[in-house]
Structures are given as structure tokens and as C-alpha cells.
Chain A
Amino acid sequence: MLTDADLSALLITLKLAGLTTLILLLIGTPLAWWLARSQWRGKPIIEAVVALPLVLPPTVLGFYLLILLGANGPLGEHSLAFTFSGLVIGSVFYSLPFVVQPLQGAFAAVNRGYLEAAATLRASPRDTFFSVVVPLARPGFLTAIVLGFAHTVGEFGVVLMIGGNIPGSTQVLSIAIYEHVENLEYAQAHWISGGLLLLSFTLLLAVYGLNRRFKVVGP
């Protein structure tokens, strides 16, 4: 079964994924709203930057983050490399598109007419966002939360580059598996891998199932 080290890796993984998802919702929601509504000509540049982690090898992202966050970087002695905070920052970048893209899609699908109707009913833009846009974009939020969380749970390259593999501090499940395999502890690797497989499948099943029920109806 699971060792103490595995259990602490599980806790760190869940904490990392939860915190990352929360931060991404706070950053990603206004960013996605802006991307969905803006007519600015430079918008594709921002969209491309947001999507970069989708195509970039995680080690590339991890490498740059290591340089940025490391002891020789601008942070100097306040280096965040090999700390949990560093992991969170890395994960936020890495999972950004998985939160922003579903939100952007959901926001773009909200008919402009609803925003105008809300305005004629005396709702300020902020009020309209929370009382009309958010409820109508609920499937997008659900997808964003689950993908952001699950993707962070599954990250490997970035974590390895900037977090290292410090048990009890920065060792997450995906790296614990790697380590078990390296040490030929296949039974442990099976337990964790199987667990992650099951978790990921359950989460995705929940998203697709729920989104079907929340089907948004047009005007």
C-alpha cells in the first residue's frame, strides 16, 4: 500500500492543485472575460501566450521559471526554486490555458442580448457579470475548475525542474510514481498510477455528465 512518503506526496499534490485552481480562477476569469469581449487588435498575441503551455515541452517552461525564480535570478536570495511557492507559480503558468480557454469559450457564448437586457434592468456591468454571465457560463467554470485541477495533479516536467523532488515539501504524486519505478517498486507505482487514472476519469466523467445537464439555452 502507500508509504508515508506517498501519503505526503498525495497531500502536497492536492494542496498544490487546489491552490493553483483557486489562483487561476481569480486571474483567469477577468483575463478570459477580456479575451472574450475585447476588440483590441493585439489580442491574438495574448491568446498565443496563454496557449503556449499547451504546446511547449514542460521542461522548457520549467527551465525558464527556474532561471527566473532561482537564486541567480532577479529574486536573488529570496529564491523560490525548490519551494512549494515556486511549485504554485509554475503550476499557475502551466495550467493557465486549461482554465482560461473553457472560460473564454463560455463567456463568448453568452449572447450579447442578455448583457443589454441586464443593463436596461439597471444592472451595472459588474452586477451583470455576477448575476447573469457567471450563471450562464457555469458549464465553462465547471470545465475550467476540473481541467485546471486535474492538469495540475498530472504535471511532471515543470515540477521536476523548479520543485525538485523533496519528499514532504515538493514531491508530488507524479514524481513519486517516477521514483517508485526507478527503484523497481512496481506495486507502489501501480497503486498511485491506478488511483490517478481513476480520479482523472471520474472527474472528467463528472464534467461531461454535468455539462450535458446544464446545457445553456439561447434567447
Chain B
Amino acid sequence: MSLEIRQQLTRGDFELAVEACLPARGVTAIFGPSGCGKTTLLRAIAGLEPQVRGRVKLGDEVWQDEGHFLPPHRRPLGYVFQHAVLFPHLSVRGNLDFARRRSGGGPGPGFDEVVELAGIGHLLSRATPNLSGGERQRVALARALLTAPRLLLLDEPLAALDRRAKAELMPCFERLHESLSIPVLYVSHAIDEVARLADQLLLLAAGRVEACGPLAEMLTRLDLTPAGSEEALAVIEATVNGIDTDYHLTRLAFAGGGEGRELWLPGDGLPLGRRVRLAVHARDVSLTLQPPRQSSILNIIPVQVDALSPSGPAQVMVRLRAGDVPLLARVTRKSEAALGLRPGQALFAQVKSVSLVE
């Protein structure tokens, strides 16, 4: 199943012209800077922007086309707004029941399952104006899920929250990802959220699609915005394949990696065989022609230079491949010259820090 969108809108100086066909599974992040039209696009898909012309089709259901516009209340979607928008005249349970009564009895997650996923069992009888920001968003998520949606739209659900509330909410989204098979469109301008949650990325810039594809590829393509940012990073899907109990380290093997394509991570709490996602920031990767024999850095991976691109006056961004897995390293132009970096070259990446994102 796929989500086909072609949406056009001119509003003052702003022009939205988006055409994309997204796989309707997993989490697709719509990523871009503020004002690039992410939220407008999401609202248009929901039918909340009736002036937007074009086409929206989920699977074989056409929501919008020439002369056809399904109003938002007839689209089987769930929507979580940036500010939750809980009904103030209803309790938490009242808000959930509002959604449940109108779900049309479609196949969807049950009440108890949703309440547990969102972790709001203890809040059911509370009045909504007294909830914290994180609690409000969890209730909003549960409420959206109770409509038995075939597509879930999340509009920067973490943007208005402080660090603690974000930490509360992230696990909800991860549980959602693991236990429910509802495709999600997730609007965000925070690359760390995207690296943690997304499977696919739709990059938006000034109302247009910059690129669209699998997360690992989109984050590391040098011609795209994410690799050009200060926070540039790569993600690696890996599997726990060993624990060093003496030193409390976990060994992770990553997909497409061969001999030596392993990473060590501090801590020993993960079970063998667990699949995890790792983030490696470009600023934490340095390059060396010979594997250092004596170094405090544990993670040294054989890689091949894939491409290079200037990053400011003094630095270059280097895209690497460890087997099939793309990585990024930001090095100085001086080092580039000293090492004679060029595409196809084999060398070693020293990874100073790896973090677990999932």
C-alpha cells in the first residue's frame, strides 16, 4: 500500500508544490526547516486546507482529486496536533470516548491497549486543563489511535515540550512503531527525533520535495540538507551479538557489515539478538589510513570513501561506506589533503562515540 500525494497551494509569497509517493508503512518523517511547508502539507493530507489543489490517495482510496474532496471527518486518519488540542469540557476519558464513539467500528487497537501504550491509565478521570504538556500529548495520541486510523499524522508532537516530557513521549512512539502496524507521517524539524523514529524521510525545502527515500540514505547524501547541517549524522541498524561482562561492553554487528564491522557500546543491559538503531555523528568520526595499534578509541571500522563535499571554508564532509552502510565524517581540508582523500579509497574510520537511539 502507498500514499500518493500531489498538492499545490499559493498563499502570498509561499508556494507549496509537493509530489510524492510514499510507502504506507512504518514511520515517514517529513523533515525540513521552519516555514518550508511541512505542517501545511500534513494539514492538506488531512483535508484541513481545502484551498490546496491536487490529489491524495491512500491505497486504493482517493481522498482528493479533480472535483472530488473528501471532508476531513470522512478520512480514516488520526491527527496529533502540535499543541494536543484536547477538549477542555471533557475529562481525559471523555476525550478518549469522543474518538471511540465515532470510530465507525473499524479494525483498530482496543481501548485498553491504547491506554497502556500511551501510559495514561492513571489519568483517565483527570480534567484536561490540569495535565502537563507531555501528558496532554500522550492523551492526544491515544485519542487519535482510538479512531482506528489507517494513517496517523503527527505534527511536531514534541516541539512544544521540554526535555523531560520528550523523554516521556518517545517511548510511546517507539511502542507505537513496534506494536501497531499503522503507517505514520511525522512532521519534524529536529534531526535527532527523525534519526530515532523514522524509517523513510521526505525532505522538504521551500515548499518543494528535495528528496524522498530510506532514512540512512537520506541522512548521508551529501547533496541534501541533513548532511550539510551541524548535527549531521548517520544511523546504523545493528544487532547485539556479544556482551563483555568484564568491561561492561556490548558488541553490535551491523547489517551489510562483514569482518570487523562491529561496534562496541558501553553498558551490558541489552539481550543478545536485540535489534537496535545507532546514531553516529559526523563530528565524532575521524579517518586514518592505517589502523592505529594503540588508541583509546574502540571502534575502528574499515570503510571506503564514497564522496566528498565542502563543509564551510575549513572542513569537508566525507561520505563513507562500511559494506552497505553509509557513514559520515567531518574532517578538515588540511587532513583531506594530507590523507589524499578521494572516492574509492579504502581506509579506517575511528568512531569516538556511538549512541543508542532505539
Contact = CB atoms under 8 A, between A and B. Distances in A.
B102 A122 contact: yes
Interface size class of B (residues with CB under 8 A): 20 to 34
Nearest to B136: A219
Contact of A120 (B79, B83, B104): B79
Given A219-B85, A219-B88, A116 B103 contact: no
Interface of B: 46-48, 71-74, 77-79, 81, 83-89, 98-99, 102-104, 129, 143-144, 147
A121 B88 contact: no
Nearest to B46: A120
Interface in A165-219: 216-219
Contact of B84 (A120, A121, A217, A219): A219
Nearest to A136: B89
A118 B48 CA distance: 11
19 contacts: A111-B85, A116-B72, A117-B79, A117-B87, A118-B73, A119-B73, A120-B46, A120-B48, A120-B72, A120-B78, A121-B98, A122-B99, A122-B103, A122-B147, A123-B73, A123-B102, A128-B73, A218-B88, A219-B83
Given A122-B104, A217-B129, A131 B77 contact: no
Q: Helix, strand, loop or mixed for chain A's interface?
A: helix
Contacts of B72: 116, 119-120
A123 B74 CA distance: 9
A132 B48 contact: no
Contacts, number: 72
Interface in A109-133: 111, 113-114, 116-125, 127-128, 131-132
Contacts of A216: 88-89
Nearest to A116: B48
Interface of A: 111, 113-114, 116-125, 127-128, 131-132, 135-136, 138, 216-219
Given A119-B48, A217-B129, A113 B85 contact: yes
A200 B79 CA distance: 47
A128 B72 CA distance: 12
Contact of B77 (A113, A114, A120, A138): A120
A123 B129 CA distance: 22
Contact of A114 (B78, B85, B147): B85
